[in-house]
Chain A
Amino acid sequence: MTGGWPRWEVFLRARRGLSHGHVGSVHAADGETALQAARDLFTRRQEGISIWVVPSGQVVASDPADQDSLFEPADDKGFRFPTSFELPSEVDQM
C-alpha cells in the first residue's frame, strides 16, 4: 500500500560543522511521524546527528527541460575556475 500518506523529503546532518544533505524520502501522516520514520530508516548506523523533514510539495524544483538554459552557460566561462588563470612565476606554488 503506497500513496496513502503524503511524502516528506529527509535531510541529515552527519556531523557537527557539516550541512544537512538530502538522503531520501518517507511517507508519513505528519511531521512528527515523518521524523520518527526518518530516524528509523536513515540513522540505523549512526549516519546522523540531526534530521530535517520537509513536505515534498514544498520543494520548488528546477525543470529538467530548463537544464540547458540554467546550467550550460557555465561551460564557456573559464574565468569562473581558478585553473584558467596563469600564476605569476613569483608565486611558485599555491
Chain B
Amino acid sequence: MNGTSGLLAHVLRQGDRALVLAQRLGEWVAHAPELEEDMAVANLSLDLLGQARHLYSYAGELEGQGHEEDYFAYWRSADQFGNPLLVEQPNGDFAHTMVRQLLHDHAALLYWESMTVSTDSRLAALAVRASNETRFHLRHSHGWVVRLGDGTEESHRRTQNALTALWPYAEELVTCPDDDELRETGQVGPPFADAWRTAVAETLAEATLIIPDGAVPITGGWSGTHTEHLVPLLDELQSVARAHPGASW
C-alpha cells in the first residue's frame, strides 16, 4: 500500500477486503456440509466479488493510469494488498469460517451503512446496494454463530476455539488508517468502532461465547503487512491470469 493515499487507498483497501474474503469463501465450494450451505457460501462469495469489482473499477478511474479492475486483482503483490488480516485467515472448520464471517459482517454492514451518506456519489450509490447484500450476509453468519455457539457441547467448543483464535484480528476491522482525513471531507462516513463492539458483543453473548481476555490486537493488513496466509491465497487467485496474460474467455 506504499505510496497510495487518500480516497484511492481507501477504495483499494475495501476492494481488497472484499476480494480476499470472496476467495476464501470460494474455497468452500463443493466442500460445505450440505448442498444448500454450499450455495449459500458461494452466494456470499459472489456478492463480495461483485463489490470488489465495483471498487476496483472506481479505483482505476481515481488512479487515472488506465488500469481496469483485473489489474488490481491479478497484478499486484501481497504487500500491495490492503485487506485487514482477518479476511485472509484460513477457513478452518465451518465454525471458524462463520465466526470470521460474523466479525467481518458486523463491521462491513456498519461500514456500508455509514457510506450511504458519503459525499462521494459513486461510493454512496454502491453503499446502498452493498448494505442490502451485507444485511443478508450478517443474518446468515449471525444465525450460524448463535446456532453453533449455543448448540451442542462439540459445536460450542469448536466455535469458542474459533473465536479465541480469530479475536486478535478482529479489532483491525474498525481501525482503518487514514479514514479520519477522509471523514473531514465527508467522503468516508462517521466512525462505527463502538457500534461494532456493541453489536459483536451482543451476538457473542447470545451465542454463549466468551470474548478472550487481554488479547493483543494483531494489525497491519490495511497497510500491506500481512500474515503468511495471504501469499498462497494470491498465488492461486492470480495463477491463471499470470500464466496467460491478456487471455480472455
Binding site for B on A (CB under 8 A): 1-2, 4-5, 26-30, 32-33, 36-37, 39-41
Contact = CB atoms under 8 A, between A and B. Distances in A.
A52 to B, nearest CB: 17
Interface stretch (B30-38, B110-118, B195-203, B205-213): B30-38
B35 A40 contact: no
B143 interface: yes
A33 B142 CA distance: 11
Contact of A4 (B34, B40, B43, B143): B34
B43 A40 contact: yes
A27 B147 CA distance: 16
B33 A36 contact: no
B147 A37 contact: no
A39 to B, nearest CB: 8
Nearest to A3: B34
Contacts of A33: 36, 143, 147
Given A29-B147, A32-B143, A37 B33 contact: no
Contacts of A28: 36
Contacts of A1: 33-34
B40 A37 contact: yes
Contacts of B37: 37
Given A33-B143, A36-B139, A36-B143, A26 B36 contact: yes
Interface in B119-143: 136, 139-140, 143
B62 interface: no
A37 B37 CA distance: 7
A31 B4 CA distance: 47
* Most chain A CB neighbours (cut-off 10 Å) among B34, B39, B136: B34
Given A36-B40, A37-B40, A40-B40, A27 B143 contact: no
Nearest to B144: A33
7 contacts: A27-B35, A27-B36, A30-B147, A33-B143, A36-B140, A41-B36, A41-B39
Nearest to B41: A40
Contact of B35 (A2, A30, A32): A2
Contacts of A2: 34-35
Given A2-B35, A4-B33, A37-B36, 14 more contacts: A1-B34, A2-B34, A27-B34, A27-B35, A29-B147, A30-B147, A33-B36, A36-B40, A36-B136, A36-B139, A36-B140, A37-B37, A37-B40, A41-B36
A37 B40 CA distance: 7
A66 B212 CA distance: 62
A94 B120 CA distance: 61
A4 B37 CA distance: 12
A75 B123 CA distance: 63
Contacts of B35: 2, 27
Interface string B84-124: 00000000000000000000000000000000000000000
Contacts of B143: 32-33, 36
A30 B143 CA distance: 10
Nearest to B140: A36
